[in-house]
Amino acid sequence: MGDGRSDGGNTFMRRYGPWALVAGASDGIGESFARDLARRGCHVVLVARRETVLADVAARIRAEFGVETRIVVADLTSPELAATIARGTEGLEIGLLVYNAGAIHGAARFLDQPLASTLALVDLNCRGPMTLVHGLGPAMRERGRGGIVLVTSISALSGSSFTATYNATKSFDLIFAESLWHELAPAGVDVMAAIVGATRTPSMLESTSGFERYPGLMEPDDVAQGALSALGQGPAWVAGKDNRERVKGLFPLPRTQIINAMSQAVSGIYDIPFETVSGRELAEID
């Protein structure tokens, strides 16, 4: 979709404006998404749990970019999430959803973790994105335009000791985004998984003292800007050149062909009309 700079953000705004909602917007990559969306001209709804931090981020965005903001204080794992978001976005035309929150803060073997905390991660990374897409997606489809970015991780690409639930839920986000990409492209709505690698965020810096020394850490602004520029080009995008190289080896088969083939197979079984969707491969989008 481009970086929005060459045309003052107009193409981006026509496709994804006037309002964007960022879930998990009070710091890290989510704050960077909110700021970059405002830079492109979008009004922004910021969702997170810490009200004073959210209000502060929103005030800085208004002052710097002259857009409108609204804050919604919500826990994305709450059973009340759908109602809270519906109330918080009443009267707004949301053209873009970024579901960003979802990191883990520590690592341990699955059986050594309380079941409740692993199920809370399922709520955050599976129920949350499903709830927001289901709440905001229908209006996008009716308008025939819009965008949805689900932030996932390189951890989505394989299983791993110590982060089993994280990997599995991030894999859910990747596959969910790929599926929605195919379903919603004919309706003019762009869906993309943003596959993120190690990034210098408050959340990760607080979770382990060694994180600062992790090789090749990315900056949150680069991840957010890259994702928004890649939106509309394919079902998934990988943040950072080094990560893209790694993913090429992990994902040698063309995803868009596989998604089309699987969609065609299912449409054949259930007698649903099928439409081929074209897009670029995840490691080919800069």
Phi, psi of 201, rounded to the nearest 5 degrees:
-120, 155
Distance CA 189, CA 142 (A): 10
* Window contacting ligand NAP (CB under 6 A); options: 11-19, 28-36, 85-93, 185-193: 28-36
Shortest distance in whole angstroms from residue 282 CB to ligand NAP: 15
Does 193 bind ligand NAP (CB under 6 A)? Our answer is no
Burial class (CB in 10 A: 0-12, 13-18, 19+), 2: middle
**214 among known catalytic residues:** no
**Binding mask 8-27 vs ligand NAP (x if CB under 6 A, - otherwise)?**
----------------xxxx
Long-range pairs of 78-85 with CB within 8 A, sequence gap ≥ 24? 81/127, 81/128, 81/131, 81/132, 82/131, 82/134, 82/135, 85/21, 85/47, 85/131, 85/132, 85/135, 85/136
Catalytic residue (choose from 99, 166, 214, 270): 166
Residue closer to ligand NAP by CB (options 168, 196) is 196
What is the sign of the dihedral through the CA atoms of 283, 128, 26 and 199?
A: negative
For the window 58-77, what string marks contact with ligand NAP as x by the rule CB under 6 A?
Answer: -----------------xxx
Contacts to ligand NAP from residues 79-108, by CB under 6 A: 100-103
Please identify which residue in 198, 236, 238, 259 interacts with ligand NAP, judged by CB under 6 A: 198
Report which secondary-structure segment, H or E, holds 21: strand 19-23
CB of 217 to ligand NAP, least distance (A): 7
224 binds ligand NAP (CB under 6 A): no
Side-chain-side CA neighbours of 207 within 13 Å: the count stands at 14
Site residues for ligand NAP per CB under 6 A? 24-30, 48-50, 53, 75-77, 100-103, 124, 151, 153, 196-199, 201, 203-204
